[in-house]
Amino acid sequence: MDEVIRRFATHRVRYLVIGGQAVRLAGLPRFSMDWDFFIPPRDAANLRRIEAALGDELDCPLDALGPHGENAIQTYQTQWGVIQFHLGGPGLPAFEIAEQHAQTYATENGTPVLCLGLADLLMSKVRAGRPQDLQDAEFLKRLQLRAAQDRQPDKT
Amino acid sequence: MKRTDEINAKLDFWAAKPQVAPLPRLANLPRFGHRKFDSYREMNAWKQTLLAELASHGGAQWTK
């Protein structure tokens, strides 16, 4: 999937990795069969940049979010794995807000990846509410606590 | 039961020293064309069907 991330960077795609892969990149050893990308829901130019980046691997053009939530999640099977584009979702803030809180992690191969920020990721996991999401949330709460402790001045 | 068997102990351990674990690839996922969903309920239902199909073929085979 590093190849996809590099192509997104080359084509200046606006994206944030969310879901299980974002939690894995934050440090929890877990499997996930797909990569979830949060993208701005009605940025037509960005949709075209994604299509340019992934070329024939997308067997159908991406659609903007419809007025009644149509096409909120768009799934493709590619040579790099299953890619899901999310144009919104439970617990996700507006993309522009999420983008401001983005966190950069690195893949196991060192490729930098833009991910949903820790607080937003935690909220999305709590709201999704499936058992695996709640376990991810417990891990993220621990990370958040450690980050807060690291920010506190040394009292010794 | 060892302390490491408890999920909370594992989460504590992983959060103390977060590391990115290499991701294996799913080698035998059935082929499918693009799918577009209007809701997470729809998407999760489809994913359950896909996983059931995978299970009927012997389960997931992960590879490096």
Q: Kindly report the nearest CA distance between residue A59 and chain B, in angstroms.
A: 6
Residues 6+ apart with CB under 8 A from A33: A81, A82, B26, B29, B60
64 residues of chain B, pLDDT tens digit each:
555 568 999 999 999 999 998 888 888 888 999 999 999 999 999 999 998 998 998 888 888 7
- Under DSSP, the state recorded for A52 is H
What is the domain count for chain A?
1
Rounded distance between C-alpha atoms, residue B2 and residue A39, angstroms? 43
Rounded distance between C-alpha atoms, residue A101 and residue B28, angstroms? 36
Q: What confidence tens digit (pLDDT) does each residue in A75-101 have?
A: 999 999 999 999 998 899 999 999 999
Q: What confidence tens digit (pLDDT) does each residue in A17-64 have?
A: 999 999 999 999 988 889 999 999 999 999 999 999 999 999 999 999
Of B11, B35, B39, the CB nearest to A69: B39
- On whether residue B37 sits in a domain, the answer given is yes
Q: Does B64 touch chain A (CB under 8 A)?
A: no
A31, A11, A7: which is closest to A21 by C-alpha?
Answer: A31
- On whether residue A156 sits in a domain, the answer given is no
Of A32, A77, A139, the CB nearest to B15: A139
Q: Does B63 touch chain A (CB under 8 A)?
A: no
pTM of the model: 0.93
A26 with B39: Cβ contact below 8 A? no
- On whether residue B2 sits in a domain, the answer given is no
- On whether residue B51 sits in a domain, the answer given is yes
> What amino acid is encoded at A17 in this protein?
V
What is the domain count for chain B?
1
Contacts across the A-B interface (CB distance below 8 Å)? 97
